[in-house]
Amino acid sequence: MEQVSGKIGDFHVSVRKRARYVNEDLCTGCGSCAEKCPTMAVDVFNAGLGRRKAIYKYFPQGIPSVFTIDAPECRQLGQGKKCGICAKVCQAGAIDYGQKDSIVHLEVGAIILATGYEVFDPSVIPEYAYDRIANVVTALEFERLLSASGPTAGHLDRPSDLELEKEIEEIRKEAKKLDRQIRQLEEKHGRSSASVIEQVAGGADKELRDWAAQAEKLLTMEKSLAELEKRKAAAQPARKLAFIQCVGSRDFRYNRFCSSYCCMHSVKEAMIAFEHDNDVRSTIFCMDLRAVGRGFEEYKLRGGSQAGITYLRGRVAEINEDEARNPVVWYESTTSRQVIHETFDMVILATACIPSSSASKVAELFEVELDENGFFKTDPLAPLNTSRQGIFTCGCAQGPMDIPESVAQASSAAARAAEVVSPARRSA
């Protein structure tokens, strides 16, 4: 959004449409560009847990099914190198490196702000060590781990083991390169590296010393690779899970409000983890377990009786890590009135639903008020109305809520907007 002017029934809006460097009308979504693209980038959709190509589709079912170039990551666009592979392989001729942002002007009668929310960044809570302990993840990251189209194809591999995999891959790549160089030296001089190492021990010229150093480095690498491989082979999927509620919500240091949906998504994630592997046992640490929708309480009870979930009232005080990279959770069980520490395979943080970082900018642009929490302010008796006539808001942009409520509100906002823009067709 660039500019908004006018009033109810007659708004003028300018929208910046960002360049995707792919012609939407030509792209068929076949994906050969991404297959051949040589550049890997962090997969933002998979919460940074996986990697994707620099030309990509945000997620498999995305609409429209059209690819986009991540310009800063792209060799050709972002790094000034010569590449052009995607343009070469695209049979539809859809790649357009010269595409520019465009400004679209809209004349509208009503506006609906459905700009959503963001997830609280738990790394600011020192005691949960989110940025230090690999096996402490956010609920959204865990959701990607559980997803079939996610980075682990739905298996509960621990992030520490995924890191191990990455480390092995990197060392292996480097070792392969080194190995090639050493082999070339061996062929060129017709002698083995072992004999060179032996000779160097007794003093030799620089070339031989370098050769020996490289050969020794390779040996060390191979050894550590074997060690890592052993650890990887011994890695077990996560089976003992801790879910921590109200991370950044109902916490006076960060946000006072309740994020509304997280109790149920923790129950759901624990259920899905159990369905995937019946040996999974989960503990949900909560203050109140808020299961307030149709069937929610029943679902929660079923989680307890049939899916290995324990609900524990208590706020976790601290998380440490043991030598096997297991998170250790310290908490007070308020019902047994004891301080307990317990080791888990993984900890999942139910992070708060917070106002989108652009909310204040959007509010300023559209001249609507924010509430004390930073969501778009609404009137309890006109729950879709913002403070400005003709501008409505729905979903988590006005405060945390679950999917059915968001879907219902979207219809409601459409009703309000329709009252403004369309005198009824075919009315009595």
Interface positions with other proteins (CB under 8 A): 28-29, 31, 60-65, 147-149, 153-154, 250, 256-258, 260, 275-276, 278, 288-298, 301, 313, 334-335, 337, 371, 373, 375, 380-384, 399-401, 403-405, 407-412, 414-416, 418-419, 422-428
Q: How far is the CB of 147 from other proteins (least distance, A)?
A: 7
Measured from the CB atom, the residue of 324 and 407 that comes closer to other proteins is 407
Closest separation in Å from C-beta 107 to other proteins: 21
Task: Specify whether the CB–CB gap between 303 and 309 falls below 8 A.
Answer: yes
The two three-digit tokens of residue 118, written as one number: 């963001």
> Given the complex with other proteins, which of 124 and 418 has the nearer CB atom?
418
| Min dist. Cβ of residue 418 to other proteins (A) | 6
Give least dist CB 321 to other proteins, A: 30
Q: How far is the CB of 373 from other proteins (least distance, A)?
A: 5
Decide whether 14 or 149 has the Cβ nearer to other proteins.
149
Cis peptide before 327 (omega within 30 of 0): no
CB atoms within 10 A of CB 178: 16
CB of 250 to other proteins, least distance (A): 6
Q: In terms of CB distance, is 258 or 316 closer to other proteins?
A: 258
Nearer to other proteins, 28 or 184 (CB): 28
Q: Which is nearer to other proteins, 215 or 309 (CB)?
A: 309
Asked if residues 317 and 330 have their Cβ atoms less than 8 Å apart, the reply is: yes
